[in-house]
Structure 1
Amino acid sequence: MSETISVVERPERDEAQPRLRTRFTEALGIEHPVVQGGMMWVGRAELAAAVSEAGGLGIITALTQPTPADLVKEIERARTMTDKPIGVNLTILPSISPPPYDEYRRAIVDAGVTIVETAGSSPEPHMEMFRDAGVRVIHKCTSVRHALKAQSVGVTAVSIDGFECAGHPGEDDVPGLVLIPAAADALEIPFIASGGFADGRGLAAALALGADGVNMGSRFMCTVESPIAQSVKERIVAASELDTNLIFRSLRNTARVAKNSVSDEVVQILAAGGRFPDVQPLVAGARGRKVFEDGDVEAGIWTVGQVQGIIRDIPTAGEVVRRTVAQAHDVLTRRLAQFA
């Protein structure tokens, strides 16, 4: 179970920005327990570097880059913007024509990256190379049993995704309020909470439930440095927590996406007994990419979490990190202190 966090006041030269030191920050060598999760088409150098420069952990998404060589160039670009640690996400999924995962893995190691976020399938086949290269692995999980498996194969930390999250929440439908303390009771390694986090209240709550930090995706999508179209960011700000759809439920491959005409149609087709080939043209990844690049929020399906209901502005990524930590510090040291 997680150890008690320590609240540290920063030196005056750093404008007394508070710091929350946890097992996760110590294990990863970062300043704040705030991670920008790897997101397809979103995790690029500008965003990752801005998060890391502010003291969090920014993550570049490997498969957003068309080739391993392009990934190396993207990592190098990020390093021109910050000298702080940056991670790389490698999502491993079954596919008829899978990407060259081994080549991407080699590119990550050869580029000198020391933090990797894995997701999808088990990271076990990749652990030997990463371990030999001194790479610390954070594996994304949607259940305690998967987190325990990841712990057993030697990852440094896990990220626990509650049912509120964007993308694939798994098939157990367990929200963070239950999943986070369940993970805290079971795990020995540090873990961060994901799904439903956008500010310092969420960070303080995650820490209180036993997590060692938070992973925020939708919140960082909606920042100045995020590479998605401005109209998509504005749609997130305008949306409520009710404006998502769960698709692929009947296919046992549930995904949480933005509610729009396309995802509504996918839900209707599958609810009427349709199968994947019936919706495949609607859910094509190229259409989702078009949403982010062109700004037409009805062009395809795109992922966002229920947390969009409490995202109300488009600040810089650095401001998100700083105010999240400051607000969590205030909750932990002032608001909750009245009950001590």
Structure 2
Amino acid sequence: MNSSLCSLLGIQYPIMQGAFQWLATPELAAAVSNAGGLGTISASLYQTKEELTEAIARAKSLTDKPFCVNISMFPEVVEGEKTWDFIAACCQSQVPVVELSGRDPKPFVEELHGAGAKIIHKSTAVRFAQKAEAAGVDVVSVVGFECGGAPGNDDVTSMVLIPSVASAVHIPVIGGGGVCDGRSYLAMRALGAEGVVIGTRFMATQECAIHPNFKKLLVDSNERATMVVQRSIDFPHRNLKNETTLQVAELEKGNPKLEDIFPYVSGKRQKKCYDSGDTQGGVFPCGEVVGRIHDIPTVQQLINRIVREAEAIAPTLL
């Protein structure tokens, strides 16, 4: 298993861990990187440059392999956001890979490249991937409508979106949305992706810092266990179908304002539930691929399995 992405990013396998909120910790990132993939720390876990710097140092103490820091930005610059502080932390700590999302990456490219970082930009449509390439990023990551979390506003599935982006840009594409094993890895590669990004499947691993109640729920769920909400506030998310998600869906039948929806979907509420094991008290990003999760392996076991399955299946496809 190899691709141009491996040599570009210095990784063994072209498998990237998604930056799911509250769970993309230094410990999980290090486990993914040690297993040959590209682990990811989410900067949204931290409030200051110093906190992110400490998290990066923690990851470096746990792995000598490349890892990524994800910096998710608001669509427009807002007062108090920490983007430049987080960029500075990555540059000063010589983070090998930085993933950006949310708005135009162009203002940050020169500084990150100057510090030796490779830049991935998360895109949800062909037009955004092309803009990111024009801005000078090294890789674009693209996920289809079946993914957990924010799939964008166009509702285009991976089967259509990934090859469309791969044909429209000249830089490597990382594809996601539905990847959990060797078969889905190979499907993404066949669609033109140089690598894959995996979110939901990594939640159901031993190293993921989520309460065991959630891991059991993931294993027990089927492919119909998710739904998309938050369209009314122009920020659609695919979440596990539970009491709170259904409450949000009911609210959205009216004409809700952001302040009506936010108490149900707030990150603080989600974090409290992740820690306590309350699977019904908040909204929780989850992809349709949850229906294909049947166990809770270690990260190393999972990546080894993906590689083994892909290498066994690939010769039979032609």
Q: Which bin holds the TM-score, normalised by the shorter protein?
A: over 0.9
Q: Which residue number corresponds to residue 324 of structure 1?
A: 306
The partner residue of 2:189 within 195, 203, 207 is: 207
SS at match of 1:324: helix
Higher mean C-alpha displacement, 66-75 vs 87-96? 87-96
Tell me the C-alpha RMSD between the 2 structures.
Answer: 1.3
Deviations 1:187-222 (A, max 9, x none): 110011011111111110111111111000111111
Instruction: Report if the CA contact (8 A) 1:291-1:302 is conserved.
Output: no
Q: Which residue of 2 aligns with 1:62?
A: 43
Partner of 1:128: helix, strand, or coil? helix
Corresponding residue for residue 28 of structure 1: 9
In 1, distance between residues paired with 2:47 and 2:254?
A: 36
TM-score, length of structure 1 as denominator length: 0.90
Q: Secondary structure at the match of 1:88?
A: strand
Most deviating of 232-241 and 274-283: 274-283
CA distance in 1, matches of 2:164, 2:285: 26
- Identity rate, percent: 39
The runs of 5 or more residues in structure 2 that have no matched partner are none
Which residue does the alignment assign to 1:259? 241
Tell me how far 1:253 sits from its aligned partner: 1.7
Question: Which of 75, 84, 88 is matched with 2:56 structurally?
Answer: 75
Corresponding position: 1:220 with 2:202:
yes
Residue 266 of structure 1: CA displacement?
0.6
Match of 2:65? 84
Per-residue deviation, 1:27: 1.1
2:220 — aligned with what? Answer: 238
Q: What is the alpha-carbon distance in structure 1 between the residues aligned to residue 16 and residue 82 of structure 2?
A: 26
Q: Which amino acid aligns with 1:201?
A: R
In structure 1, C-alpha distance between the alignment counterparts of 2:302 and 2:86, rounded to whole Å: 30
Letter in 2 for 1:71: L
The match for 2:87 is 105
Q: CA-to-partner distance for each residue in 1:153-206, whole Å, 9 max, x for gaps?
A: 111101011001111111110000011111121111001101111111111011
The CA distance in 2 between the partners of 1:113 and 1:195, in whole Å, is 26
Equivalent-residue separation in structure 2 for 1:219 and 1:304 (angstroms): 9
Deviations 1:270-300 (A, max 9, x none): 1122222222211121111112111101121
CA contact (8 A) 1:38 1:117 kept: no
Supply the distance in 1 between the matched residues of 2:230 and 2:56 (Cα, whole angstroms).
34
Letter aligned with residue 237 of structure 2 = A
Structure 1 segment 159-174 matched on structure 2, within 5 A: 159-174=141-156
- TM-score between the two structures when normalised by the length of structure 2: 0.96
Q: Which of 243, 256, 259 in structure 2 is aligned with 1:277? A: 259
Distance in structure 1 (CA, Å) of the matches to 2:177 and 2:237: 13
Q: Distance in 2 between matches of 1:98 and 1:258?
A: 31
Determine if contact 1:158/1:192 at 8 Å carries over to the other structure: yes
Task: Tell me if the contact between 2:176 and 2:188 (Cα under 8 Å) persists in the aligned partners.
Answer: no
Letter paired with 1:80: S
The 3-state SS of whatever aligns with 2:263 is coil
Q: Residue 257 of structure 1: CA displacement? A: 1.1
Quote the offset at 1:66 in angstroms: 2.8
Q: 1:130 aligns with which of 112, 117, 121?
A: 112
- Residues 28 and 225 (structure 1), Cα distance of their counterparts in 2 relative to 1, 3 Å cut: same
- Superposed displacement of residue 252, structure 1: 2.5
Any stretches of 5+ residues in structure 1 without a counterpart?
1-19
Q: Distance in 1 between matches of 2:234 and 2:59?
A: 37
- Residue 15 of structure 1 corresponds to none
The residue identity in structure 1 corresponding to 2:214 is V
